[in-house]
Amino acid sequence: MKRRNFIQNSALATAFVGFSNIAFSSNLAEVKPSNSAKFKLKYAPGFGSFPELAGKDPIEVIKFCADQGFRAMFDNGLPGRSIEEQDKIVAELKRQNMDMGPFVLYADFKVESMVIKDPAIREMLVKKVNDGVEIVKRTGIKCALMVPGRYNERMAWDYQTANVIDIMRELSEIAEKGGMTIVLEPLNKRDHPGLFLTGVPQAYAICRAVNSSSCKIIDDMYHQQITEGNIIPNIDAAWSEIAAFHIGDNPGRKEPGTGEINYLNAFKHIAEKGYNGVLCMEHGRSISGKEGELALIEAYRKADNF
């Protein structure tokens, strides 16, 4: 066997390690993973995580993910689905005893929004939150994600921060009455230049100033590895204000084990702190096709082995 072919075959075999119940076939289309052991933490695939193995129907995807031991799902675009489809998704999640991660309520990266005092923007944001509360009441999904938008190049930074705090106090009051938690997401400046909110320490200071149980942080560990690193100490420092997590390794924003983040240790630390929320798998796959989807599941088995 040529050395190149041996390496390729070995890599493919490695991707399959851990699937003791997979029915192997010479035809890859017949490979069907089955591992119902529940993960320790609530890692949440998106509805597009397993197109080859689970298809595109949301209900079938939920069933497949439950069969693989996942205990949650996430859907950034939930508000854009019809009420009928939302209801079907929620009913299947309840049947499988699975949670749902935060949906995106507002994330416009092109405009200055929370950093300026503009009556029209305020009215828009209030409407967004009221619409989110209606989704929460109907579905029982508690968290909605918001991004404060771009920063203003002409205004002093502290005034912009004060404006974000002021509008978030108003929005959080509406959310709290409706049983919804708004999670603010800091995003890194390399991938998303020009945004106001870029770091967990910054988000922590804003949440402390807002002082509401409905204003919290979603800690995206991919973004934070780029922005400030020091992931575990930052989790500890901001713990009281973190309500959810996003996952993605860096570089590449692919599954755990493909970059520099030690997710085994990070997950172990989060579990030891008693976290019972969702960790959204907001990343791609390092390998295409069914092999990549199998490798994705195995990557989480390895990272969850603490």
Q: Any idea which residues carry the catalytic annotation? A: 185, 282
| Residue 183, SS3 per DSSP | strand
75, 47 contact by CB (below 8 A): yes
Close Cβ partners of 119 (under 8 Å, ≥ 6 residues apart): none
Looking up tokens 């690193």 gives 229
The string of DSSP letters for 32-80 reads: B----PPPSSEEE-BTTS-HHHH-S-HHHHHHHHHHTT--EEB-TTGGG
Comparing CA positions, the residue from 301, 105, 123 lying closest to residue 215 is: 105
Sign (positive or negative) of CA dihedral 70, 71, 77, 78: positive
Give the separation between CA 108 and CA 182, rounded to whole angstroms: 16
Give the separation between CA 249 and CA 239, rounded to whole angstroms: 21
User: Can you name the residues that pair with 183 across neighbouring β-strands?
Assistant: 145, 216
Which amino acid is present at 179?
Answer: G
Which amino acid is present at 300?
Answer: Y
